[in-house]
Structure 1
Amino acid sequence: MTPSTEAPRSPHLLILGGTTEARRLAEALDARPHGGPRVTTSLAGRVARPALPPGEVRVGGFGGPEGLADWLRAHRVTALIDATHPFAATISFNAARAAASAHVPLLALRRPSWTPADGDNWHGVGSLEEAADALTGLRARRVFLTTGRTGLSAFAGRGEGMWFLVRSVDAPEPPYPARMENLLDRGPFTLDGEREVLRRYTIDVVVTKESGGEATAPKLTAAREAGLPVVVVRRPPVPEGVTEVATPAEALAWLDRRT
């Protein structure tokens, strides 16, 4: 038998990013004194001025799971870490299919979920549409909508007389609620700042996605202190069979076992 002359692949990590955790992982790898794998971070391109991580950065989609699998093969990727937002379900399922097709190890880096504390008045729902329905039952009048700039069509035309404060990094595009004010801001947010938002805009209901993490959690504490109900959109399911960790440190340990 003729021995293979193909050179072993040098480590190349692709991070599906756009989150604080993804950026911290890239920073930790970049700070290692003896170097590490080649790191490429992929960003979806939905934010106009994202905070860029160190290393190589690509922006834009891959063209579905087949396109991502082709990219993994073409760029000789040896490990894939899905560190996207917990609600980026499409790319997570695409990543699982692509990794299986290209025979690349896959890890999901997901920040821990929020859990209610004593005094919280949470109303769990399965979608933005269900969140909009819940506002009617809560007799909401002034809603702090913290679900981002996409998906606002679920709230358009809902609740006659209802007013929305929409907080997002970039300005939203229609369709969105007719009675709306856009608050352009980027986390992390402070507890004092969230208290002031609720007070200044006389908010009576908060709507959020269950994204987890510390950067946007102060609004939950502020709502609890003010006795306000919070409509919480539950996370979508994650692909079965994918190993999941909660911190960049755990992701580094997983990566070290494969290099």
Structure 2
Amino acid sequence: MILVMSGTEEGREIVKELNHRGKELLTTVATEYGFEIYDKMGLGHLCLQGGLDVNGLSKLIRNKKIETLIDATHPYATQASLNAIKACKESGIEYIRFQRDETTVEDQPFIHIVKSIDDAVEWCSKSDRERILLATGFKSVEKFIKLKNKKEIYVRILPVPDHIVKCIKMGIKSSNILALQGPFSLEINKAMFKQYKIDIVITKDSGNVGGVPEKIQASKEMGIDVVIIKRQEIDYPIKYSSIEEVFSKLGL
């Protein structure tokens, strides 16, 4: 049996194709929103919801007789990947990492690359610009909330009711919450930036699939600073950046 840790568009493509080919598999997602997507695809019966630590993964591997684990989690879900690597090593099964390529970023004065969310917060605190669009997901909001008395913070997050409520409780104004499913086109990004008078965009390097090039181009055209948080480097036992390579490794 194959276990696919997904939660990304490519992860869903892998699950869909494996199921189409009649392979025995399970997939895991961290959130209810992720499960709902699989349910709408008619694959909810293959999906387990909830984050798993090393012990939880190892138990699942034993109980379901998993032989191969495909880690197709988000490029920034580093702890999930580290847990998977360790669980596979301890269980003696094959680990395969799928990770989308990084975005090719030209050296331009409006682009600022930082190593962490904390570094992004520090950069913003020192900038004389005041209207931030945080496009790095719900979990990073708590890091930026310390700037809410100095900056106008807008957050672009998935339309998950619990996340919206928590943002409001943290101090984000409801009118500053853009609860939408991306990725977004160049035109939509430009319209949002203009509507809310954004002058700083914070993003992770989620690759082309994550709409990073469109954010950068929209910012360039509108004179907006872009702060890109780099991916954490992990020494993966094996890593591919195309779904075709993953299936070739599986002998499919």
Alignment match of 1:44 (pick from 30, 44, 47): 30
Q: Which residue of 2 aligns with 1:4?
A: none
Q: Secondary structure at the match of 2:87?
A: helix
> CA shift at 1:120, angstroms?
6.3
Instruction: Confirm or deny: 8 A CA contact 1:123 1:229 kept in the other structure.
Output: yes
In structure 2, distance between residues paired with 1:222 and 1:104: 44
Cα distance in 1 for residues equivalent to 2:46 and 2:81: 21
Q: Could you tell me how far apart the structure 2 residues matched to 1:222 and 1:254 are? A: 38
Deviation at 1:129, TM superposition (A): 1.6
**Richer in helix (by share):** 2
SS at match of 1:256: coil
Consecutive unaligned residues of structure 1, counting only runs of 5 or more, are 1-11
Cα shift readout 1:166-223 (whole Å, capped 9, x = no counterpart): 0001234156455571001001211111110111111111001112232422112111
Moved over 6 A (4+): none
- Could you list the per-position Cα deviations for residues 2-38 of structure 1 after superposition, in whole angstroms to 9, with x for gaps in the alignment? xxxxxxxxxx110001000100111222333xx3x21
Structure 1 match to 2:191: 196
How far apart are the structure 1 equivalents of 2:126 and 2:148? 10
Amino acid at match of 1:51: I
Deviations for 1:53-90, whole angstroms, at most 9, x for unmatched residues?
5361111133x212211210111111100000111111
Work out the CA distance in 1 between the residues paired with 2:197 and 2:12: 35
Matches within 5 A, 1:65-76: 65-76=54-65
8 A Cα contact 1:156 1:177, kept in partner: yes
Change (3 A) 1:176 1:237: farther
**Secondary structure of residue in 2 paired with 1:111:** coil
Once the two structures are aligned, what percentage of the paired residues are identical? 26
Any residues of structure 2 matched to 1:77-116 within 5 Å, and which?
Answer: 77-116=66-105
TM (normalized to structure 1)?
0.86
Partner of 1:58: 48
Residue 178 of structure 2 aligns to a residue in which SS? strand
Aligned counterparts of 2:209 and 2:109: Cα–Cα separation in 1 = 17
Q: 1:131 aligns with which of 104, 108, 120?
A: 120
Deviates more, 1:95-104 or 1:241-250: 241-250
Aligned-partner Cα distance in 2 for 1:179–1:160: 12
1:19 to 8, 13, 18: 8
| SS of the residue 2:37 aligns to | coil
- Tell whether the 8 Å contact from 1:143 to 1:164 is kept in structure 2 after alignment: yes
- Separation (CA, whole Å) in 2 of partners of 1:48 and 1:39: 17
Q: Give the CA deviation at 1:233.
A: 0.9
Change (3 A) 1:27 1:150: same
Shift of 1:254: 1.2
For these two proteins, the number of residue pairs brought into alignment is 241
Q: Could you say which structure has the larger radius of gyration?
A: 1
**Which amino acid counterpart does residue 237 of structure 1 have in structure 2?**
E
Q: What residue identity is the alignment partner of 1:84? A: T
How far does residue 157 in structure 1 lie from its aligned partner after superposition? 2.3
Maintained 8 Å contact 1:163/1:179? no
The whole-number CA distance in structure 1 between the counterparts of 2:131 and 2:34 is 28
Aligned twin of 1:163: 152
In structure 2, list runs of 5 or more residues that go unmatched. none
For the residues of structure 1 that align with 2:171 and 2:136, how far apart are their CA atoms? 14
Q: Which whole-Å CA distance do the structure 1 matches of 2:96 and 2:55 have between them? A: 19
The residue aligned with 1:250 is 245
Q: Does 2:220 align with 1:224?
A: yes
